[in-house]
A = this chain, B = another copy of it.
Amino acid sequence: MTRLADIPELKSLAARRDLIRIPHEVDVPLTPRVRALIDAPAFRRLARISQLGLVALVYPAANHTRFEHSLGVYHNALVYLKQLSTDPRFEAAIGVEAAETFIVAALLHDLGHWPFCHPIEDMRLPGVPSHELFANSFLLTGEIADVLRDEWDIQPREITAILSEKPRDDRGRLLRSLLSGPIDIDKMDYLARDSLHAGVPYGRHFDQSRLIGSLCLNEAGDALAIRDKGRTAAEMMVFARYVMFSEVYWHHTVRAATAMLQQAFYLLHGQLDLDALFRLGEQALCDELLRAAGASPAAELLAGLFGPTRRLYKRLAEYSYFQERAWYEQIARRPYAWLVACSEQFAAAASRRLGRRIAPHEVLFDAPPVKREVEFNVDIFFPKENCYRPLGDVSPVITTLATRQFDDFVKRVRIFVHPNLIDDLRALGPLDALLTETLARMDS
């Protein structure tokens, strides 16, 4: 087997045989060796972890799984390979073995995820394992490792290398850019899939076919690039990602639920066996958190999220770049512990004003994290001029999205409070004095 087209999964894709269907009407080839991987316990586990976690409290249909997403990313890997195999530079750089490693890496890229992974990681608490180490525990031993060696003739270390180690050569950098970048196979799947299940059109609003047909290599041959015919399609994908953040991932009610979970986890994490906890399915993890919380303040937070009755905190205030920028700039991009302390100070100050005790966990400050989100570091190839230009240079709108709109306008500072408090606190009128007092105490 010397041609990419002879890889069994690509043959199955071409012949439309041995397929499994996922939305939106996508046929995913299941060769026996792929079947063996996805039936293994470490992969089946992804069928018990939802892709979007707390988003389902706002978009109730968004409970699709990482299992489904992983199949989608694997399918995209085949489509990208099929397309790039028509480019002689790619064929020369990536042989059959590297391509098969890439296919498996795509399929298994989420093995290190656990339920509510992203909000938990955003807190940067000690003791939380890295995805990489966590994934390795599923990849390097057990059924997955056996199948890789026996049915794929791949050493498990090759998969962990491509997924998490610093690439050592052009081939490594090239494959990594297919897995992670502004137009990678992961985003290409999750934008469309999250959008479909949430019931919104936003994340499907780009021209997949045009984008895929425009894939090429950058000048150095060590990263994915886009032919100029696909420039607009690339812009549309970046724009689609912005809209998904604005309307779904950073929806204010999703942030309320996220702030509740983060606070509960912050209160409990010292007493949890995180490694064991993160191996559970989502329902089991929720059950375990509820059990660990007992009758502590965390219990009420968790009950509102996972208990019999849905009961979310309410938005007391919101600050963005165009809404009272001064507050926004003082609170955004702070460490999580700072936000917790700030919430406590605010609760104390509010207690004094209302003349009744507000518990610290009844006020939650939520703010944009330090890390910026928009990736747009991809080159555009202009065949007529035979030159490459960075996307940002030929697309002012992308530059604006990336440097301003995304982080300063979508991600906002918000103060959420227990629903029992919202009326009393709103009755206090403008919060400026309270916030001034709160922030003054933070500085002292």
Mask: chain A, 54-65; 1 = CB below 8 Å from B; 0 = not: 001011110111
Q: In the complex, how many angstroms separate the beta carbon of A71 from the nearest chain B beta carbon?
A: 7
A196 & B283 in contact (Cβ 8 Å cutoff): no
**Pick from B47, B197, B310, B405: contact of A396, CB under 8 Å:** B405
Q: Closest chain B residue to A282 by CB distance?
A: B283
Is A338 part of the contact surface with B, judged by Cβ < 8 Å? Answer: no
Mask: chain A, 2-29; 1 = CB below 8 Å from B; 0 = not: 0000000001001111011111111100
A86 & B14 in contact (Cβ 8 Å cutoff): yes
Q: In the complex, how many angstroms separate the beta carbon of A255 from the nearest chain B beta carbon?
A: 15
**How far does the alpha carbon of A283 sit from the alpha carbon of B65 in the complex, in Å?**
14
Q: In the complex, how many angstroms separate the beta carbon of A37 from the nearest chain B beta carbon?
A: 12
- How many chain copies? 4
Mask: chain A, 277-307; 1 = CB below 8 Å from B; 0 = not: 0000101100000000000000000000000
B65 & A65 in contact (Cβ 8 Å cutoff): no
Binds B, one of A113-121, A182-190, A200-208, A326-334: A200-208
Is A157 part of the contact surface with B, judged by Cβ < 8 Å? Answer: no
Q: Which residues of the other chain, B, contact A318 by a CB distance below 8 angstroms?
A: 384
Is A151 part of the contact surface with B, judged by Cβ < 8 Å? Answer: no
Is A358 part of the contact surface with B, judged by Cβ < 8 Å? Answer: no
**How far does the alpha carbon of A193 sit from the alpha carbon of B44 in the complex, in Å?**
24
Binds B, one of A95-103, A239-247, A432-440: A239-247
A16 & B322 in contact (Cβ 8 Å cutoff): no
Binds B, one of A126-134, A165-173, A261-269, A387-395: A387-395
Is A32 part of the contact surface with B, judged by Cβ < 8 Å? Answer: no
Considering the complex of A and B, which 6 residue pairs feature the smallest CB-CB distances, nearest first? A16-B213, A41-B308, A15-B86, A205-B205, A21-B199, A400-B400
Q: Which residues of the other chain, B, contact A86 by a CB distance below 8 angstroms?
A: 11, 14-15, 17
Is A141 part of the contact surface with B, judged by Cβ < 8 Å? Answer: no
**Pick from B45, B60, B322, B405: contact of A68, CB under 8 Å:** B60
